[in-house]
Amino acid sequence: MSAVLTEARHQLAAWIAVSRRFVIFTGAGISTESGIPDFRGPDGVWTKVNPNQFDYQAYLSDPALRRQRWESYRQGGMGADAKPNAAHLAVAELVQLGLADCVITQNVDGLHARSGVPDDRLFELHGSSRFAKCLTCWTRFPRELTLTWQPDPAAGVPLCPDCGGMMKSGGVSFGEPMPQYETAEAIRRSRAADLFLVIGSSLVVYPAAAMPAYAVEQGAKLAILNISETPHDRIADLLIDTRAAEFLPGVVETVKRMRGQA
């Protein structure tokens, strides 16, 4: 590891060790090493898949699209077989040790939950494909539970077993409202942070991308761990240009030694 990265590891670990409200924010870059493709890169999903397939209004109005999206969801869509990587595990350990307040994520892959971040410490701003939801009563059902449910012939998707409404993957589509509770809680916790770490996000999708600015406005230190530039780099206190799965496990070990918890 280069001297620059060693220095960055020491600095970030020292901040985490004394932080009282450490908030972690993640984007697609944390999951690429779990085999989930990035969306916006040069080989990203949007260079191969028509984003209109993920348009909320189209989903509401087109039974054929709903049928196609549900079948894709049932088969796993993107990442049902993916496993958390070393970066997810490092993040989960920081939460479990009480060193991080929460994880706010743009990802719908569910890998933070599967790596052991408790539900009450995890705010999935764009929903999660580990759940399906009813678009009428908003009840959420674990994906596994829905796999054998048969689509209604007219709706193209299964109907909610509670109210008969249309079902949809828990991931938020384009033009679909953001989950209210998660969004409000992410803003509140970002504003309360004294240390804010961005992992693997290019910080271009709003309102998610506003979270680091909320933290900095209230005096938090900002560290950005990403392999490309972001529009927030100029307000960051520390920029770390490397892969999260190679960098974060060492940070956790360093923090534990600094706190006598190794």
Helix then strand count (H, E) for the chain reads 9, 9
Binding mask 147-176 for Zn ion (x = CB under 5 A): -------------x-xx-x-----------
What gap in Å lies between CA 155 and CA 84, rounded to an integer? Answer: 34
Q: Which two tokens stand for residue 161?
A: 């077993």
Which CB sits closer to Zn ion, 161 or 231?
Answer: 161
Pick from 23, 113, 122, 134: which binds Zn ion (CB under 5 A)? 134
Pick from 137, 145, 147, 204: which binds Zn ion (CB under 5 A)? 137
Active site residue 232: no
Stretch that binds Zn ion, among 24-32, 65-73, 110-118, 132-140 (CB under 5 A): 132-140
Size of site (CB under 5 A) for Zn ion: 7
CB of 152 to Zn ion, least distance (A): 13
Give the burial string for 35-62 (b: 16+ CB within 10 Å, else e).
Answer: ebbbbebeeebeeeeeeeebbeebbeee
β pairing state of 127-134 and 140-142: antiparallel
Q: Which two tokens stand for residue 6?
A: 């060693």
136 binds Zn ion (CB under 5 A): yes
- Residues designated as active site: 126
Interface residues with Zn ion (CB under 5 A) are 134, 136-137, 160, 162-163, 165
